[in-house]
Structure 1
Amino acid sequence: MQILVDKTKEKKMPEYSRTNPFQAKVLKNINLNREGSSKETRHMELSLEGSGFSYVPGDTLGIVPENDPELVGALLSEMNWDGEETVTINKQGETLPLKEALTDYFEITLLTKKTLQKASELTDNEELKNLVDKENASQLKEYIDGRDLLDMLRDFGPWNCSSQDIVSLLRKIPPRLYSIASSLAAHPNEVHLTIGAVRYTAHGRERNGVCSVQCAERVHEGDTLPVFVQVNKHFRLPESEEADIIMIGPGTGIAPFRSFIEERAVNKVSGRSWLFFGDRYSSTDFLYQDELEKYQEEGVLTKLDTAFSRDTTEKVYVQHKMLENSQEIYHWLRDGAYFYVCGDKEYMAKDVHEALITIIEKEGNMSREEAEEQLATMKKEKRYQRDVY
C-alpha cells in the first residue's frame, strides 16, 4: 500500500540569514589584552550548532547589536518619554514599546544630514534651522561628526512633537560586520571573533562603540547574539596549497589571518606563510601571542615579524618592518606570493600600500610608475587583497 505524505505538515528547518539572524550561544568571551593595557580586545567563541551556516577564511560575521541601556535611559529621561508607550517602527506598521524600539530597532548613535533636516521641522529652534540651510553644509557636517540623537535633542529643543515623530526620523540599526577569526575545519560548529572595544570622549561626553562595548560589557558566556555569515569573495586564501602568503594585520587586523593560519595548519599545506603583526606594547597587546609562537615553532607560520609602537622611543609600525625586510618580501612576491592587508583603512593600509610600492621599486630596480603597474597586475591576479575598514 502506498502511503501518501502530506508535505505541508513536514517540519521545515528555519533558514537563517541577514534578515533572520541565528541566535548563537556565546561559548567564550575573554579579554586578549593583559593587565595594564589601554586597550580591550575581546576574543569571542560562538556556537553555530543548528544554524546551517558555513564559512571559509576571509568571510565576515554580522552581529545585530543592541543599544546601550544607559543611552536609552538618558533619551527617555531627557524627553520625559514613557518607555512603555507603543510606537510604530516601520512602513509595515509594526509596533514596539518605545524603550524596546530604542534599544533593539533604531540607530541612535549616529546622525545624518537627513535626520537633522527633518528634525528642524519639529522645533522652532533657529540655530537648527540655520544649521540645515544649504549655505551651511560644512557646519552641518562638522556638527554631525561624533554626535548622536541625545546631543541633537539636548541642543535644539524645545521639541513640539511626540516620541513617534522623533523615532520616525530614525533608521533601522545596521548590523556590525567582523572578520571571522577561526577556521571551520579547525573548530566545527563554531565561529571566533576578535573585537576591539571602542571607547572615546567627544563633545563633552563619553562615547561607546555600539556592538563592541555590548560584547565587552554586557554579553557573557551562555548568552546569545543574533548573527549571520556574510561571504567576502574578495579576501580569499590562494587555491594552490603551494602558494606563499604574506599577511599584514596589526591590532584586530589579525582576525582573518588567525583563520588563514588555522586553515593552513589543518590542511598541512606546503606553502610558506609570513605574518606582520603590530600594536602598542609587546607586554600587554601581543594578541594571540602563545598561539602564533606555537605555530612558528611547528613551522606552520614560517616567519613572524612584530612592531610594537610604544616599546621604543621612535614609533615603529608594520610598514617599517616591511621596509626592513624589503629584499626578502620582494623575493617572495617575485616567486608568486600572495599579499594580504587587514585593518585600519585611514592610515595603516595607505602606509602599507606606499611601503609595498617602495619595496617593488627599490628591489625590482624600476621606476615608481612601473612599481605601481606591477602592484596593479598583482591586484588583477588576486595576489594583492585588502580587507580594510
Structure 2
Amino acid sequence: MLVKANTDSSASLNTEQLKQLQQVSQQFTPLQLAWASGYLAAKSENPGNQVAPSAEASTAAKLTILYGSQTGNAKGVASQVESAAKSAGMQVSTFNMADYKGKNLKNESHVLVITSTNGEGEPPDDAIALHEFLGSKRAPKLPNLNYSVLALGDSSYEFFCQTGKDFDEMLSKLGAKALSPRIDCDLDYQQPAKDWQDTVLKDVASQLKATTADVVQLPLESANSSQTSQYSKENPFTATILANQKITGRDSNKVVQHIEIDLSDSGITYQPGDALGIFPLNDKALVADIAALLKLDVSESVSVNDKETSLEQALISDLEITKLNKASIVAWAELADNAELTSLLANAEQLRDLINGVQFIDFAKKYPAKVSAQQLVATLAALTPRLYSIASSQADVEEEVHLTVGLVEYQVGDEQRLGCASGFLIERLQEDDEVRVFIEHNNNFRLPENPETATIMIGPGTGVAPFRAFIQQRSAEEASGKNWLFFGDQTFTQDFLYQVEWQAYLKSGELSRMDVAFSRDQAEKIYVQDKLKAQGSEVFAWLESGAHLYICGDMSRMAKDVHQALIEIISEHGQKSAEQAQEYLKQLRINKRYQKDVY
C-alpha cells in the first residue's frame, strides 16, 4: 500500500515529532529501516497490538548504490541509475560512500559501485574510508553479495580508473560475485555508463522481485527544499560574457584572463568550491586545416549520434580534435595500418606521452590514413565540457560567476597549438558573446561549516581562483576564522594575480596573512612548498588547532611537492615518523579538513 498525502492535519507529524523521527532514523542501518517501516505499517493497522513485520520483510533483498565522486560525475550517474531502478519497480537505496558503514555490506544482497579516480590512482575523498576498510583485515567476508562496478576516469592518466579496479578486486577477494564485468569509462562516459546501467539493472531485476513494500515519503529538510535551477550538464544555460580581461602583465610568459559571466534569469546557484562547466567550440580555422589535411569537404553531410549535420559543424561543436584518447588512437590505427603506431599501442608509457603531447592534426600528420568524412567522425570522441574552479562567491557577485583562466599554448614545429576551452574563452570570446555553462557541485572542496574555523589555502597560479571565492564568502558572512593564503607564480611584477584584492583583504584583516613565492625573482627558485616549510612550526600549530587545509592547482608536480612538504612539517614539528605523518594527513582528508582541487 502506498501511503498518500492525507489532507487531515491530525494524520501529520508536527515539527517536533518529525525532528525526533528523523534523528532516530539516522541511527538505523538500511535493514533496520526496512524492519521499522514494516513495524510501523503493522502498528497503524493494529494500534492495540505489538505486531512486528515478518522475517521476509526484514530481510528483503534490495539494490544498494554506492558512489564515490570528486567533482560530481559519479554522483550524477548514481542518481540516473537510482531513477531507472525505481522506475523498474526496485527497492533501492543510494549512498555517498562517506556516509556508508563498510560493515553493512555483509547485510546487502546487490550493490552497484560507481566511482571516479582522484589524482594518481587515489580514491576520491568521500571514498577513502570505505576503500581503506575493504582493504583491511576488518572487512567481512561477502559470499552473499552480488555487485558490479562502473569506474570513471581519464585514459591520459597512468592509473586509469584505478579506484574502480580496486573496489572490483577487493569485493571479489571478499567472496562477492560480479553481476557483470566492471566497465572502465573515459571522459566520454555518458553512453558507456548508460549501457552498463541497462545491462546491470536487467541482471538485478532477474534476481530481485520488484518491491511492493509500503512507501512512506517524509518531507525533506528545509535546507534541501529550495528550488533548483532547470539548467544542468544535460541542459546547459546559454550565458553572456560580461568581461574578459587579461590580469598578467605585458611581459609575462603567461596569458591569464579574468572572465565574468552573466547568470541572470537562470536560477543557477553555486557555492565556493564548485566548478563551472564550459561547453567549448573548436576553432573553425583548425577544423579547416584538418579537412584540408585529410582531403575532405567540410560541407559534406555526416551523422553524429543519429543527427545529420555538416562535417564542419560536427568538428566544431560535437567532436574532440584537440585532445586524443586511447579509443580514438586504436580506431585510427586500424585505418592507418601503420606498424609503428600498432607497436606504440602496446607501450603504455609511450601511449600516454602521445595522448598528452599532441593534438589530432599532428597525430594524423605523423600517422596518415585515407578516411571518409563519416569514418573520421566515427573515430573521434565526443567533445566534452571543461571544468573551471569558480573564482567568485554569489554572496558578493550575485547573478554572476567569475573564472580565472590560463591560456594553454605550445608549439609543434612552426605551428601554434591552443587548448580547446582556454583558446575558446580567451582568444575567441569577447564581451556580449555567448557560452553554454552549468554548475558542477563539489562537496569535497568546501569552506568549514563553523565560521570560526581557520583555513590554510595553497593556490599557486590559477589555482588561487577558488580561494578568491572563499575569501569573498567569508567576508560577506563576517566569519571570524583566520585565513592564511600561500600564493606563487613566476614574477611579482607580471604574475601577481588579484594583487590589489589580496592587499585590501590583508588591510581589512579578513585575510590574516599571505605568503608569496615568485620563482623567477631570484637566482634560486622558490615555490609555495618552500614557503610552507619555512613557516612549518606555525602551519602545524594551525592544524593542531583545527584549521582546514586546501590545495588547488597542478596535480602532477605542485600538489605532490606540497603534500611532501606537509609530511616533512608534520614529522618535524609533530615529532612523528613519515608513516605517522601520512596517517595524520589521511585522517585530515577523511574528516574533510584536507581538501584538494587538483588537475
Q: TM-score, normalised by structure 1?
A: 0.91
* Count of equivalent residues: 372
Question: Counterpart in 2 of 1:114?
Answer: 327
Kindly state the Cα deviation for residue 351 of structure 1 after the two structures are TM-superposed: 1.0
Structure 2 segments unaligned to the other structure (5+ residues): 1-227
Matches within 5 A, 1:240-319: 240-319=450-529
Q: Residues of 1 paired with 2:229 and 2:547: CA distance?
A: 42
Q: Residues of 2 paired with 1:214 and 1:103: CA distance?
A: 11
Question: Counterpart in 2 of 1:149?
Answer: 360
Question: Counterpart in 1 of 2:579?
Answer: 369
| Letter in structure 1 aligned against 2:526 | V
Greater mean alpha carbon deviation, residues 148-157 or residues 287-296: 148-157
Kindly state the Cα deviation for residue 50 of structure 1 after the two structures are TM-superposed: 1.6
Q: Residues of 1 paired with 2:254 and 2:410: CA distance?
A: 11
Q: Residues of 2 paired with 1:276 and 1:155: CA distance?
A: 43
Kindly state the Cα deviation for residue 148 of structure 1 after the two structures are TM-superposed: 2.5
Question: Counterpart in 2 of 1:25?
Answer: 240
| Letter in structure 2 aligned against 1:116 | I
Q: Residues of 2 paired with 1:141 and 1:386: CA distance?
A: 24
| Letter in structure 2 aligned against 1:345 | M
Can you list the C-alpha shifts for 1:295-321, whole angstroms capped at 9, x where unaligned? Answer: 000011000110000001100001111
Kindly state the Cα deviation for residue 245 of structure 1 after the two structures are TM-superposed: 0.4
Structure 1 segments unaligned to the other structure (5+ residues): 1-12
Q: Alignment identity in percent? A: 45
Q: Residues of 2 paired with 1:225 and 1:261: CA distance?
A: 27
Q: Within the alignment, does 1:380 sit opposite 2:595 as a pair? A: no
| Letter in structure 2 aligned against 1:100 | Q
| Cα pair 2:255 2:407 within 8 Å, conserved | yes
Change (3 A) 1:118 1:369: closer
Change (3 A) 1:56 1:222: same
Q: Residues of 2 paired with 1:349 and 1:143: CA distance?
A: 23
Q: From the CA coordinates, give the structure whose radius of gyration is larger.
A: 2
Q: Residues of 1 paired with 2:342 and 2:561: CA distance?
A: 41
More helix by share: 2
Q: Residues of 1 paired with 2:367 and 2:405: CA distance?
A: 35
Q: Within the alignment, does 1:213 sit opposite 2:423 as a pair? A: yes
Q: Does the residue aligned with 1:102 lie in a helix, a strand or coil? A: helix
| Cα pair 2:517 2:531 within 8 Å, conserved | yes
Kindly state the Cα deviation for residue 129 of structure 1 after the two structures are TM-superposed: 4.8
Runs of 4+ in 1 over 3 A off after TM superposition: 123-132, 136-145, 202-205
Can you list the C-alpha shifts for 1:196-242, whole angstroms capped at 9, x where unaligned? Answer: 10111246642211111211110001101110000001000000000
Higher relative contact order (CA 8 A, sep 6+): 1
Q: CA RMSD in A?
A: 1.8
| Cα pair 1:146 1:202 within 8 Å, conserved | no
Q: Within the alignment, does 1:350 sit opposite 2:560 as a pair? A: yes
**Residue of structure 1 aligned with 2:373, choices 150, 163, 184:** 163
Question: Counterpart in 1 of 2:273?
Answer: 58
Greater mean alpha carbon deviation, residues 320-329 or residues 116-125: 116-125
Q: Within the alignment, does 1:172 sit opposite 2:385 as a pair? A: no
Question: Counterpart in 2 of 1:7?
Answer: none
Question: Counterpart in 2 of 1:103?
Answer: 316
Q: Does the residue aligned with 1:181 lie in a helix, a strand or coil? A: coil
Kindly state the Cα deviation for residue 183 of structure 1 after the two structures are TM-superposed: 0.3
Q: Residues of 2 paired with 1:125 and 1:358: CA distance?
A: 49
Change (3 A) 1:157 1:53: same
